[in-house]
A and B are shown apart, each in its own frame.
Chain A
Amino acid sequence: MFDILQYTFIQNALLAGSCVAVVAAVAGYFMIVRGLTFAGHALPNIGFAGAAGAVLLGIDPVIGLFVFTIVAAIGIGFLGERINGRDTVVGIIMTIALGLGILFLSLYAGFAERVYSILFGQIVGISHADVLVTIISSTVTLAILLVLFRPLLFSSFDPEVAEARGIPVRLLAILFLVLIAITVSLAVQVVGALLVFTLLVGPAATAVRIVQRPLWAIVIAIVLGVCYTCLGIFLAAISVNWPVSFFIATISFGVYLPVRLLSQLWIGRRARQKVTLTQNGVFSSGQADEQEQSTSVETMGRIQGKSL
Chain B
Amino acid sequence: MKDPVIDLEHVRVQYGRQIILEDISMTVGEGEFIVMLGPNGAGKSTLLKLLLGLVRPSAGVVRVLGSPPRRGNNAIGYAPQHRVLEADLALRARDVVGFGLDGNRWGPGLPSRKRDAIIDKALLEVDAADFAGVPVGQLSGGEQQRLLIAQALLTNPRLLLLDEPLANLDINHEQEIVELVAQVCRARNVAVMLVTHDINPLLTVADRVLYMAGGRGAIGSPDEVITSATLSQLYGTPVEVVHALGRVFVVGAET
Contacts and interface: CB of A to CB of B under 8 A. Distances in A.
A74 B80 CA distance: 28
A110 to B, nearest CB: 45
Given A164-B54, A214-B95, A215-B111, A156 B87 contact: yes
Contact of A278 (B54, B76, B130, B133): B130
B223 interface: no
Given A35-B85, A157-B91, A213-B92, A166 B99 contact: no
Interface string B137-165: 01000000000100110000000000000
Contact of B172 (A161, A208, A293, A303): A293
Given A164-B52, A164-B78, A166-B104, A307 B251 contact: yes
Given A158-B80, A163-B71, A212-B89, A268 B134 contact: yes
Contact of A146 (B107, B148, B249): B107
Interface residues of B, number: 48
A307 B244 contact: yes
Interface string A256-297: 000000000001101110110011000000100110010011
B106 A161 contact: no
A270 B111 CA distance: 22
Contacts of A271: 131-134
Contacts of A148: 106
A149 interface: yes
Nearest to A151: B104
Nearest to B135: A212
Contacts of A270: 133
A157 B170 contact: no
A35 B244 CA distance: 46
A150 B134 contact: no
Nearest to A166: B72
B89 to A, nearest CB: 6
A262 B227 CA distance: 58
Given A164-B52, A208-B90, 16 more contacts: A29-B90, A32-B90, A35-B86, A35-B87, A150-B103, A151-B103, A154-B99, A162-B104, A164-B71, A212-B133, A215-B108, A217-B90, A275-B130, A279-B130, A290-B172, A304-B249
25 contacts: A32-B90, A33-B91, A147-B106, A149-B106, A150-B102, A150-B105, A153-B95, A158-B82, A161-B99, A161-B152, A162-B104, A166-B72, A208-B90, A212-B89, A212-B91, A214-B95, A268-B134, A271-B131, A271-B132, A271-B134, A274-B130, A275-B130, A275-B131, A290-B170, A303-B244
